[in-house]
Amino acid sequence: MPCRARALARAMNSADDFCYRHDAWLGFAPGTLVNPERDPFLDPADPLLGPQPVVQSLAIEAGVTWWRDAADIVRLDPLRWILSAVIFVIVCAATVLIPLVGALALHVVQTVMIGGLCLGCRDVEAGRPFEVGMIFAGFRSEYLSRLALMALTLVAAFFVLFLVAGMLGVVITLTEFNVMNQLDALPALLPSLLILTLVLTLFLMLYWFAPALIVLHGVGPIESLRLSFLGSLKNISPMLAFGIVGLLALVLGILTAGFGFLLIAPVAIATIYTSTRSVFALPASDAR
């Protein structure tokens, strides 16, 4: 009977929680060192390797808390954060103008800068002042290769996914057009829009926590994507609440003729840190 009870309890656990209980998925138990064999880009001798982060399942109100905690970080030195946000936008705008590879370079550069700002957030919560130069901290050699490889891996994977999803959407849309008249053209586009929404959602789930996991917890490029997806999957309700607050902030920025974005943008960037710290229980003062 006790064995049956334990089996039933295990079956009731969510799939992702079950994965973290067994080595068959991750190859190591929570609390042990990150296993380099799970990520081909990791060096076993890398000094940045740290304890394997464990995904927590949070209540829906956590999504609002991420915004509040991020605002608390920014309000300690708003002018420097605003300057950092302006530099972030300028660098991204200049990067995208690079011929041929502008879009690809943009994704890599913004990922590296986000990693640097997450380090800045950690410094603030550890009692150290925020420095504008932290936006470029991700370009240090110990972080740059991991952040760049993670960004390039994600772009490559989604190029293939977008290609497959695009062809599938076109086939479905053309099929619908063949059986509908022009008045029903809009419903025929819905399958393609749904596929696009699904792909973008998957992209966000894989990417959201990844930069912070790399710089704060020493996770490898591939493992950061896996952990980010599992963290998002296990916290769908907080992510939805987070998105609703983000939409309200977007409306506020528009209503203030764009000036509100000077404060909203730094807070939005800081939420990447606060959400990662919350979901993966990363101590704010876990300096490396």
**Residue 184: per-residue pLDDT:** 56
193 — pLDDT class (breaks 50, 70, 90)? confident
pLDDT tens per residue, range 77-123? 999 999 999 999 999 999 999 988 888 899 999 999 999 999 999 99
pLDDT tens per residue, range 115-157? 999 999 999 999 999 999 999 999 986 788 899 999 998 888 7
Q: How far apart are CA 214 and CA 210, in angstroms?
A: 6
Q: How far apart are CA 158 and CA 206, in angstroms?
A: 11
Q: Is residue 34 part of a domain?
A: no
Q: Is residue 1 part of a domain?
A: no
Q: Is residue 228 part of a domain?
A: yes
User: Domain range holding 146?
Assistant: 53-168+196-279
Q: How far apart are CA 69 and CA 104, in angstroms?
A: 31
Question: What's the structural domain count of the chain?
Answer: 1
6 — pLDDT class (breaks 50, 70, 90)? very low
Q: Is residue 87 part of a domain?
A: yes
Q: Is residue 142 part of a domain?
A: yes
3-state secondary structure of 197: helix
Q: How far apart are CA 69 and CA 72, in angstroms?
A: 5
Q: Is residue 263 part of a domain?
A: yes
